[in-house]
A and B are shown apart, each in its own frame.
Chain A
Amino acid sequence: MDQHLLSIILLTPLAGLAVLLFLPGKNKDLIRIWANLVGFGGFLISLPLVSRFQAGKPGYQFEESVDWIPALGAHYHIGMDGISLLLIMLTTLMGSIAILCSWNAIQERVKEYYAMFLLLQVGMIGVFLSLDFFLFYVFWELVLVPMYFIIGVWGGPRKLYAAIKFFLYTLAGSVLMLLGILTLYFQHHQQFGFYTFEIAELMKLNLPLGLQQWVFWAFFIGFAIKVPMFPFHTWLPDAHVEAPTAGSVILAAVLLKMGTYGFLRFSLPLLPKASMDQKIVQILAILSIIGIIYGALVSLMQADWKKLIAYSSVSHLGFCTLGIFSMNPNGIAGSVLQQINHGISTGMLFLVIGIIYERRHTRAISEYGGLAHVMPKFAIIFAIAMLSSAGLPLLNGFVGEFTILQGAFEANPIWAAFAVTGVILGAAYLLWLYQRTMLGQVTNGKNLTLHDMSAREVALFVPLIAWSIWIGVYPKPYFDVLRQPVSEIVQRVRPGYYSGPVQNASIPTVPSNGGAR
């Protein structure tokens, strides 16, 4: 089973989708139950990866490769390393949670809705598994379509504007990325005499710095829009605000990670010279830092609960990209970990909004206040989500942020000094939001009759809270999984990194596998 495990994981939602299409559209509960079974099944079926994955083994695992379009040199080639393992687990878990949280929220076009979600799931899993650029691009674009419909059909009042903005903006980026891919494709033919989209093959290219820079910027536009990095972020607040809850959850938790994943999987290893170009690194790090502070400050003054969280995503993703462009092991490992953390925490925060939105149908912060009196369970869960997002130690956010800061400090202490202000502001906008919505007296009569969270709603949060405590208290397995792929990336961009003199005076543990390779 191992050799087809990834295909099974990739195709489970697709198979579920095929069956879903034949279910009677009028029986909404049947459709809901089936979609939830498929979503949860998708998560369960991905669990064996955790036990079977061998941390520290070089290269990709569970690889599958079949010729797909031989004339083009396109392959169905999938496989995973530590980075994709974590992102796949995040995708399957968040996917099943997103499907579960839609139970009451979606009452119209139920069948189409769940069909779109399952299709989305296929696209996201495919993006994180593809080892062939052609396949990758197909999945990358595939993700756009269901998301466009999820926002455009089941969204809020300005759904059309948001959906079209989302679609066109990201499509524009993808097209530039496609140009970059094709440049590599044709360069490879020139140098080696055959056409291929295999990433392993393209890594053998020897490109001059100038060309690498052009391709790097083409990739950058595509990935930076997806992340989104400042100043390409304005599609995000609109998309989040208008999307239904589950759409926001998936958008924040998984979709944005496609951009950061792209940087790690393609930009850095394929274009090492451009990635280490001082000017490029400086620009990207500064854009990340602007994103951190700018996102936090704009977030502080939002009057819309959901928009506030959307801008906080810009700030948190700034940490992730800053980690990547620190170009050192801790920066990159911290970045991947923070991508998972952001998925967990921001996913929870959007679920929180969804719960209150289902009850009151407004996201204006001024409509709330004193909810902790009426909804104590909700208050506790929101508090945990908030603290996880604010980077409180022993919850997940701290581990990622601290590791990224360590990496950023190693690259340039000034970066770390600016980035750390984002941590202060993060506490400010979250605590202020919490105070305005949950604390104080109940000032709006409509809030007095709200019912607290149901068992189903609590169940959405239990796995996420457990996961966030696990990462916060015992993150070692995550670092173990990331050590190998991160060292491969670092050695690709900075070949001599691990061969420096080793500090051994009184330091208890010296890297055993990292330094050896």
Chain B
Amino acid sequence: MNFLELIWLIPLFPLAGAALMLFFGKTLDPQPVSEVAIAPGVEPIYEHGHAHHGHGHDHGHDHGHDHEHGHGHDHGHDHGHDHGHDHEHGHAHSPLKFLINLICPGMILLSFLFSAGAVWQLTQKAHRTAEVIQFTWLAGLPFHMSNGQLATFHIDWGFLLDPLSSVMILVITGIGFLIHVYSTGYMAHDNGYYRFFGYLNLFVFFMLMLVLANNYALLFVGWEGVGLCSYLLIGFYFHKRSAGDAGKKAFIVNRVGDAGFVMGMLLLMSTVGSLRFTDVNAVLHSGAFTPEVAGVGTLTIISLCLFFGATGKSAQFPLFVWLPDAMEGPTPVSALIHAATMVTAGVYMIARSSALFELAPITGHVVAIVGAFTAILAASIALVQTDIKRVLAYSTVSQLGYMFLALGVGAYWVAVFHLMTHAFFKALLFLGSGSVIHAMSGEQDMRKMGGLKDKIPVTFRTMWIGSVAIAGIPGLAGFFSKDEILWQTFSSEKGSTILWAVGLTTAAMTAFYMWRMMYLTFYGKSRVSAEAAAHMHESPVSMTGVLSVLACGSVLAGWLGVPKLWSIFGEGFRTFENWLLPVFASGAGEAVKEVEHSAGLEWTLMFTSIAVAAGGILVARYFYISRPDIPESIAAAVPGLYRTLVKKWYLDEIYEYLFVDGLCKGGGNVLGAFDRNVVDGGVNGAGWLTRFMATLSAWWDTWVVDGTVRLISFVVKMASYPVCILQTGRVQAYAFFVVIGVLVFFGYYVVR
């Protein structure tokens, strides 16, 4: 089978799974979509009084069907945590439910197998790209490029597999499959099981579209699509207001970044004439553009716009604020979407655009600075968080900052390398925290944990490995990628000592906060409530098995990118770099330049970072095991700083004040009043004026125009009045007047 021609099928498997779940899932698992959540004190009110509106036709058909289940439960209470986990509810599970467990992870497994087949075939090719164009998607019309040439707005539905997308699809389908398996255990007691898996499969579909697309616009389809799935999954427990808020925030903050992405695409299209990666790279490599060293040129603006898009999706400053809130979603979602895959989309996109970013060195500096700043900012917040998932969320933001730092200094393959190792150990840590929360009956506050290491040994051991890996202890995955980032930051042309120092400080903080989390959770005295302690149990094998596999990955994944310095290891241990290098090679075919440094310096820096990591762990041990009073006294000594960190540098408050309340709601209110009073006021005013004029005219008409007419008639009437007196109607009187008249005439003639 030629998998390379079938890469378009890879995303379609999860799409099929999603479609099955969302259309037929309810038949397989006929639980209510959710427990009907009713606010306290709300009673059903039957409002059937309006019979004259004739519900007759559709009445009673679906009525009550969906909340019959709900009424049986004690549904008023608030779970408080993302994991319902109420065994006592004892839903009667449909016997068909196992089909969901078969279909959804199965579809991802199929995708994974296809991906593996395709990647294997790709390795056999001399020219390591495979492009499949299926049909024209946006068959737009001609347009003038910025240089006056006529081009066509033309976007294909096409897929591109190259070394970069190979890494991504293997990570997405591989880790995605593991997380699906884990979810079958973790979500077993939740309502809306099929809905969860439908969304999750849909997410994998969009994520695969994102990384397999052969052009920016189709990439954007995946980009927005994963945003949607993230919205749906963060808001999975939608009866909780906080979950709804968090989902909405994630979507809208991402949209802000997307606006930048769209502008970048439009400018790119207008400059290059196409959005297809191969075309764009061909034009950029053709020599028509030179690096914009001197100032901000078109390519710099394009790359800045794209990077702004990446700050949204990949949670970088200033748009990272949505990611910690996204922890409202179920924990497997946090692991898959908000740690391993979706949030790395920005890293992927910039790596994909390396030809562009190479020509825009100013953007490179911006990316590196923003990355380093985000890394240390998020790490500082992680130091004081007490919610286990929030620590991991800020840690993710911080690690993504590392990846951007690597991208900014031009070490694209290292960024992707860290992306991959991070996917392993961060997925492991999140899933481990999920297992902890599972064991704790939904408790996420580390202050109420402690001493769990013997209660849930597999979770403990695997998380221990993850925490060592992320801290950067040699031999585990995190060390290799993080050390390479620090080295490249120090040594490459675009790097600097300051950025390296920031990275190193962040590494120390990382080791500290991760081990603070480990010590608070697993070591020391137990602070677990009696109720939670009674229910404590290790997670089922579907969860612990996955943790173990990921733990292996967290150890082994790094060995694909051993430092050049460790020359006793052969080229095989540097597969990752060699595999990716053709993607990032510039037009002339040479790799990104590295300034030569002595091996001694490199060894020194390596030992520095190891020492810093070990130091972080030891300080954490001293603070939280040996002298637990110290953290409190430090917090008491610098209350302002402590509160600022706990409050996340007040960024949420500032954004809320400036943008949500100020710009949007304030603007909406002001403009709404403007609309009512001024714009519509004009219309109503015109109406009023017309009526006023009409009244005036009516008055004029009645009193002046018609008045004249009536005056004339009045005068005539008045003038006729004396005559009327004579007109009595009596014939005798008339006869008398006639006689008088005759007499007068006669008299006249006689007298004359």
Q: Which residues of A contact B (CB under 8 A)?
A: 103-105, 107, 165, 168-169, 230-231, 233-235, 294, 297-302, 328-330, 333, 358, 360-361, 370, 372-377, 380, 387, 392-394, 398-399, 402-403, 405-407, 409-410, 413, 416-417, 420-421, 423-425, 427-428, 431-432, 435, 438-446, 448-449, 451-457, 473-476, 479-480, 482-483, 486-487, 497-498, 500-503, 505-511, 514-515
Contacts and interface: CB of A to CB of B under 8 A. Distances in A.
B62 A403 contact: no
Given A402-B262, A449-B45, A486-B141, A456 B37 contact: no
A256 B140 CA distance: 25
A449 B47 contact: yes
B224 A445 contact: no
B143 to A, nearest CB: 5
A406 B44 contact: no
Contacts of B532: none
Contact of B255 (A403, A424, A487): A424
Interface string B224-255: 11001001000100111101110010011001
A234 B679 contact: yes
Interface in B254-293: 255-256, 258-259, 262-263, 266-267, 269-270, 273-274, 276, 278-279, 282-283, 286
B665 interface: yes
A323 to B, nearest CB: 12
A402 B138 contact: yes
B148 interface: yes
Given A424-B259, A452-B66, A453-B62, A505 B220 contact: no
8 closest pairs, A vs B, by CB?
A454-B58, A329-B141, A301-B668, A234-B680, A448-B44, A451-B63, A503-B149, A393-B221
B139 A301 contact: no
A330 B144 CA distance: 10
Given A360-B47, A441-B37, A486-B141, 13 more contacts: A297-B668, A298-B672, A298-B675, A301-B669, A373-B239, A406-B143, A410-B144, A439-B239, A454-B61, A473-B137, A505-B286, A506-B279, A510-B151
B679 A231 contact: yes
Nearest to A512: B152
Given A234-B683, A405-B266, A479-B140, A107 B54 contact: yes
Contacts of B139: 475-476, 479-480
Residue of B42, B220, B221, B235 contacting most chain A CB atoms (<10 Å): B42
B37 A370 contact: yes
Contact of B252 (A168, A330, A427, A508): A427
Contacts of A377: 62
Contacts of A380: 22
A451 B57 contact: no
Contacts of A505: 273, 282-283, 286
A393 B224 contact: yes
A416 B264 CA distance: 11
Nearest to A164: B687
Contact of B671 (A298, A375, A420, A446): A298
Given A328-B144, A498-B150, A446 B683 contact: no
A507 B152 contact: yes
A326 to B, nearest CB: 10
A298 B38 CA distance: 31
Query: Does more than half of chain B's interface fall in helix, strand or loop, or is it mixed?
Result: mixed
B679 A406 contact: no
Interface string B152-171: 11101000000000000000
B245 A444 contact: no
A403 B244 contact: no
Interface of B: 22, 32-39, 42-47, 50, 52-67, 70, 135-145, 148-154, 156, 217, 220-221, 224-225, 228, 231, 235, 238-241, 243-245, 248, 251-252, 255-256, 258-259, 262-263, 266-267, 269-270, 273-274, 276, 278-279, 282-283, 286, 664-665, 667-669, 671-672, 675, 679-680, 682-683, 687
19 contacts: A297-B671, A301-B669, A330-B141, A358-B55, A376-B66, A405-B262, A424-B258, A441-B241, A448-B36, A449-B46, A451-B58, A452-B66, A454-B61, A500-B150, A502-B150, A503-B150, A506-B274, A507-B152, A508-B274
A146 to B, nearest CB: 23
Given A103-B57, A441-B39, A507-B274, A515 B45 contact: no
Contact of B141 (A104, A235, A398, A511): A511
Contacts of A297: 664, 667-668, 671-672
Given A165-B683, A169-B683, A234-B683, A333 B154 contact: no
Given A393-B221, A413-B267, A300 B664 contact: yes
Nearest to A423: B259
A372 B57 contact: no
Given A431-B252, A500-B144, A511-B141, A104 B37 contact: no
A510 B671 contact: no
A509 B58 contact: no
A480 B258 CA distance: 28
Contact of A446 (B45, B142, B150): B45
A473 B252 CA distance: 24
Contacts of A299: 668
B8 to A, nearest CB: 13
B502 to A, nearest CB: 31
B273 A507 contact: yes
A372 B50 contact: no
A410 B147 CA distance: 11
B62 A452 contact: yes
A374 B66 contact: yes
A212 B56 CA distance: 58
Given A302-B672, A330-B140, A475-B138, A107 B52 contact: yes
Contacts of A432: 248
B50 A361 contact: yes
Nearest to A502: B150
Contacts of A441: 37-39, 239, 241
Contacts of A398: 224
Contact of A234 (B244, B282, B669, B675): B675
Contacts of B687: 165, 168
Contact of B270 (A235, A294, A409): A409
Contacts of B156: 508
A440 B53 contact: no
A490 B60 CA distance: 56
A373 B138 contact: no
Contact of B67 (A399, A448, A475): A448
Contacts of B46: 449
A475 B282 CA distance: 28
Residue of B67, B136, B238, B286 contacting most chain A CB atoms (<10 Å): B238
A107 B407 CA distance: 66
A142 to B, nearest CB: 24
A148 to B, nearest CB: 16
Contacts of A302: 672
A501 B144 CA distance: 9
Nearest to B148: A500
A392 B254 CA distance: 13
A448 B38 contact: yes
A235 B683 contact: yes
Contact of B235 (A427, A439, A483): A439
A358 B283 CA distance: 58
A486 B153 CA distance: 14
A483 B144 CA distance: 16
Contact of A107 (B53, B241, B278, B679): B53
A246 B64 CA distance: 28
B14 to A, nearest CB: 14
A500 B37 CA distance: 63
A373 B274 contact: no
Contacts of B283: 505-506
Contact of B44 (A392, A416, A428, A445): A445
Residue of A328, A440, A503, A505 contacting most chain B CB atoms (<10 Å): A503
Contacts of A370: 37-39, 239
